[in-house]
Amino acid sequence: MQTMGINLIKRKLGANDNLKITILQEGNKFTITESSNFRNIEISFTLGVNFDYSLADGTELHGNWELKDNKLVGTFTRKDNGKELVALREIVGDELVQTYTYEGVSAKRIFKKA
């Protein structure tokens, strides 16, 4: 989050956001329900088709998800500075592991099944 330019207060809030996501797949179409201390939103996208998404701090992204080797690979560009953010979603055991890479720095977020 620091590399993303997110300030200390927002980083502390973000680390305790109580984020829960639900992923519904219907063929190539995905619907994500995102629920956190900050917001409750629903996002729909089709694999390989660009869409807009705003992070909870307002940072706007544009990009898409693709399915590669049974993993979702997201390639997004920040609208404010044109830099790339790559996201990976994979099921490992009983967990959903999300890995984000930005400016050579990677972070992992692990979600447990409800």
Ligand X SMILES: CCCCCCCCCCCCCC(=O)O
Site residues (vs ligand X, CB under 6 A): 1, 4, 32, 34, 43, 53, 55, 61, 74, 76, 85, 87, 100, 107
Q: Which is nearer to ligand X, 14 or 92 (CB)?
A: 14
Nearest distance from residue 36's CB to ligand X, in Å? 11
CA distance 55 to 97: 18
CA distance 15 to 70: 28
Contact 110, 97 (CB under 8 A): yes
Q: Which is nearer to ligand X, 55 or 97 (CB)?
A: 55
| Closest to 47 (Cα-Cα) out of 75, 85, 20, 19 | 75
Nearest distance from residue 27's CB to ligand X, in Å? 16
